[in-house]
Structure 1
Amino acid sequence: MKNSERQLRIYFSDFFDVLPKQVENYGAFNISLINDLPLFVDPFLLFNSEDETFRKLHSEIINYMLFLKKKSVLQLPSGLIKAWYLFPEVKQNWLGFSKTGNSGRGLGPSFAKSLQNNFRDIFSDFGNEASGSTHLGKLTLVKHGVGKDQISDFTCNLIHGFLAEYTQKFAIENIPIEKTQKFTIPKAEFNYHTETWRSKQYTLPKYGKEYILLTPIDILTKDEAWISHKGFLEDFSHVVSCVPNDQIRDQINLYLTRVMPADPTKEEQAIAYEKTIHQYPSLMDVYVEIRESHKEAASASSLEKVLIAQKLFQEQLRQLVDLLDKTSFYDSEPDSYEAGMRRVQFLKHVIEKQDGYRLFYVKGIPISRESDLQIMFKLTWFASKFSSDSEVNNGRGPADFLVSYGSSDKTIIEFKLAKNSHMEKNIKNQARIYSDAARSKHPQIMVILYFNSSEADKVRRILTKNGLSDTKHIVLIDASPKESASKAS
């Protein structure tokens, strides 16, 4: 198919024949239907919103958590635990931490057990905090508690009905009827009188056999929620200094000096903080109060993070796809190795020779996470006769990409940033191990992106040390800033 005839589809707007501006004007994030994007719903943004609808959703979430807390003191039969505590991942919003499609683990028995135990123990004051405010994010503040991804999944489940109604309104007004279908959401609304979930039916965009959910940008963030375990540990000294009772504050400092090793590593420091939190759980409320006192910055901070993700995974990714489409990147290839290597070389050419390097910078700062690089590559690969399965696990850990054309034609591709502290180990072992596990008949391909000369020198030293300087299967891509052609001449 010629470039002019091909419709390269990545985003919700591409698949449902609407303009990206329509999605933006509605207030929703224009999700990718190829791969989850690393965004999630932060319940604090519901609490802090000026929109009464969002604040009401937060209140409903807290009410349900208090219902679960009340039930946690009972010996519940497995059926009620399943009905009240267990939820599948809401994968239909195509947001989250997965680098593979949009499937995740959901909220299983371990989540239910952690929640029940925590309500009986360290979070026994949940709903009765001295500050008067209760936040779902508080449950993430201990290491062996409930993780941030679980809180996001839980939040999405508890507002599943709202997300469906929100998407239904957009679909009815903007999407051709033949691209929609009626779907039943099993847990759309909780009835406290009967203590059961009600199902409801919605008209939603249809993608394969699944429905699609849109999410308002105003309740999304990237990486860390406003109230987070990571933020708590980073601000720990400040949190202790804000304890109002000087006697308790001195006791906390004394306990901390006892459990903190001399000249601690970062991990040992975190362990000492965790022990102190368990000894003095009121520290969590002090941290939450601090974060709430700066709530004006929460929405602005989250919006900035989301806009950066939007720029990277939508605007700049689309530009990269357009640049690659002018090459032979999307033409057919003879086998999986050739497919992988040719596309890597096209990618290298576009990044190094056609100013494609610019697309890996946001506000002049290069991307810092390999997962972002891998997601960008995944989103450029979709138009192929080959299956390109990101994070396929063949028994020895997930490879970045397994490109295959039938069971006998497989090639592993690893994408790395040169700044990776485990680069030498990766070069020596990782890709070879993955190829052996996948029984690939082709050599593995490793692609390393660097942003400056020191990163390039580091990688070349490692290659020379390990006798790999001349291997064609390791491809270095220079994404450092380039002078314009006029200045260079």
Structure 2
Amino acid sequence: MIYFTDIFEADESKLNAYGAFNISLINDLPLFIDPFLLFGSSKNEYQHLHEDILRYIAFLKERSNGGDIPMSQIIAWYVFPEIKQNWLGYSLVGNRGSGLGKKFGKSFSSSLDFLFKDIGNETISVTSHIEKTCLFEVGIGRDNISDLTCNLIKNYLLEYTQKFSLENIDPKYLASVKVEKVYFDYTLERWMPGTFTLPVLDADYVLLTPKDILTKDDNWINRGDLNAKFNEIYSAIPNSQLRFEIENYFKQNLPAPTPNKSLSDKEKNEAISRVLRKYPEIIDYFIKYKETNKEGARRISNEKVDEVYNLFIKNTSRFIELLKNETPFYAISHINSYSEAMKRVEFMKTVIEDMDGYRLFYHKGAPIKREADLQIIYRLTWYATDYDVNREVNNGRGPVDYTISKGSKDKTLVEFKLASNSQLKKNLLNQVEIYKKANKTESSIKVILYFDDSEYRKVVSILKELNLSEDKSIILIDAGADNKVSASKATEH
């Protein structure tokens, strides 16, 4: 019982036809709403949502007074909780996030006059975009924009979920829920509550999100692309004098050339930051460039959403079925957390190496590249256990992937690593020993996933160098699709 359709007994084909993403209700999945997909959509309802967002930004700008506003207004207009009920994002544990607090409110309010000085009267780009805040160094990042967008379209998401739920979910799973900060009343200048009939789990409501406004990794308008295409963007500026001034200032801010040493990305990006502060109109030309490729934004976001679906829903569901049908993975109950965690890792190893479970870790023929994805998969498979499974617990010395525990005296730390991790040696040498001290436990398991012979040889060499070759708590798992190393070879560790 992991996904929305499982828990609320909804028809998955109807959810897909409705256009909603089938979220996990165990842990956040790495997706978020990209406001550009609202702007770039052919759907009138999405375009209206984007216009509503800009209307609120314009209101804030009008009231910002250069950022010199009382804290009471910041709390009333800028502070929002993270909407954890959509189960999307990069939450470290479950679906909890930090939301938008006073620090965000101060930073955002003080930058409005600078960032949105021409809102509603744009001369270069077609319209304003709140993603502009991520292009300047004003202390506002992608996660802030995602949380703000989600809050500003909250009423739509609530109505969207309510409509599907009333038509497709048994009333026993539904409840009338009063929700705070649903819509903004411009006459009263305050956020207003609303009441909706929604699916409820563990005394909290659940929200659905349309797939076609979701993406993964980064917004369509993002600083990485601006840095990568900086020369292309300013070279296309029609004003020749401005173009020359920008190019000249950019060159002045680059470090002096050094023989046999090429310019680093860090040095180039620092020079770009200085140019943007002096010539902020470059941002508008970059946004105009992005606006001309709405179809590209939709295509790439669709590919990313499909990737998340295939990895965390389609493939993970198949993996769980293998664990359930071919092993006692969900039936074991050992006397301590170390024994249970180790046995489950061993069952996962068997399914991955001997029962084609390795297919879970591939998308379009390529293996996964993020350890965070591996960790989410592990959490999803642990949905049935008497033990407490916490991801990225930070007890003062840095986060560990998982703590498996039953009470304060029985804890096991489980670390997941990809063999391709360039910091693997350092992690093996330092990480888990530090975590063991911080968490007051002597039990730890290190799981390393490798995809080919070269990665296997790399891991074996590191273990030998660190005198860890005989460490039974280090488990190597062969997830290679081609020329797999035999299971007997891999079980040496």
Q: Which of 110, 113, 116 is the matching residue for 2:103?
A: 110
Match of 1:101 in 2: 94
Distance 1:113 1:16 in 2: 40
Distance 2:458 2:254 in 1: 35
Match of 2:65 in 1: 73
The answer on whether the counterparts of 1:91 and 1:104 sit within 8 Å (CA) in structure 2 is yes
Distance 2:322 2:266 in 1: 44
Match of 1:279 in 2: 278
Match of 2:447 in 1: 447
Residues 89-488 of structure 1: pairs in structure 2 closer than 5 A: 89-131=82-124, 132-261=126-255, 262=257, 263-326=262-325, 327-331=327-331, 332-442=333-443, 444-482=444-482
Task: Name the amino acid aligned to 2:307.
Answer: I
Q: Deviations over 1:38-78 (max 9, x none)?
A: 00001111111111111111100000011111111163222
Local SS of the residue matching 1:72:
helix
Task: Name the amino acid aligned to 1:110.
Answer: K
The answer to which of 194-203 and 30-39 deviates more is 194-203
Shift of 1:123: 4.2
Provide the identity percentage: 46
Q: Deviations over 1:297-329 (max 9, x none)?
A: 111111111011101110001011111112011
Shift of 1:122: 4.6
Local SS of the residue matching 1:197:
strand
The answer on whether the counterparts of 2:452 and 2:483 sit within 8 Å (CA) in structure 1 is no
Distance 2:409 2:397 in 1: 19
Q: Deviations over 1:94-148 (max 9, x none)?
A: 0011132001110011211221222133543344331241112122112334211
Q: Which of 19, 35, 47 is the matching residue for 1:43?
A: 35
The answer on whether the counterparts of 1:29 and 1:217 sit within 8 Å (CA) in structure 2 is yes
Task: Name the amino acid aligned to 1:194.
Answer: L
Local SS of the residue matching 2:394:
coil
Q: Structure 1 residues 213 and 433, CA, compared in 2 at 3 Å: closer, same or farther? A: same
Q: Deviations over 1:194-231 (max 9, x none)?
A: 21112110000001111000000011111111111222
Distance 2:83 2:283 in 1: 29
Q: Which of 2, 5, 8 is the matching residue for 1:16?
A: 8
Distance 1:267 1:476 in 2: 36
The answer on whether the counterparts of 2:115 and 2:132 sit within 8 Å (CA) in structure 1 is no
Distance 2:341 2:264 in 1: 41
Distance 1:140 1:422 in 2: 29
Match of 1:59 in 2: 51
Q: Which of 10, 28, 47 is the matching residue for 2:20?
A: 28
Q: Give the number of equivalent residue pairs.
A: 476
Q: CA RMSD in A?
A: 1.5
Distance 1:184 1:355 in 2: 47
The answer to which of 131-140 and 28-37 deviates more is 131-140
Structure-1-length-normalised TM-score: 0.95
Distance 1:425 1:123 in 2: 45
Distance 1:400 1:239 in 2: 41
Q: Which runs of 5+ in 1 are unaligned?
A: 1-8, 485-489
Shift of 1:483: 5.9
Distance 1:453 1:419 in 2: 12
Task: Name the amino acid aligned to 1:365.
Answer: A
The answer on whether the counterparts of 2:450 and 2:476 sit within 8 Å (CA) in structure 1 is yes
Distance 2:340 2:275 in 1: 54
Task: Name the amino acid aligned to 2:35.
Answer: P
Distance 2:396 2:41 in 1: 45
Local SS of the residue matching 1:31:
coil
Match of 1:487 in 2: none
The answer to which of 403-412 and 446-455 deviates more is 446-455
Shift of 1:334: 2.0
The answer on whether the counterparts of 1:218 and 1:299 sit within 8 Å (CA) in structure 2 is yes
Distance 1:483 1:458 in 2: 16
Q: Which of 80, 84, 99 is the matching residue for 2:77?
A: 84
Q: Deviations over 1:207-257 (max 9, x none)?
A: 111100000001111111111122211222211222221221121111111
The answer to which of 19-28 and 255-264 deviates more is 255-264
Q: Which runs of 5+ in 2 are unaligned?
A: 485-493
The answer to which of 73-82 and 197-206 deviates more is 73-82
The answer on whether the counterparts of 1:41 and 1:155 sit within 8 Å (CA) in structure 2 is yes
The answer on whether the counterparts of 1:99 and 1:375 sit within 8 Å (CA) in structure 2 is no
Shift of 1:346: 0.9
Distance 2:241 2:130 in 1: 29
The answer on whether the counterparts of 2:34 and 2:213 sit within 8 Å (CA) in structure 1 is yes
Distance 1:104 1:182 in 2: 24
Structure-2-length-normalised TM-score: 0.94
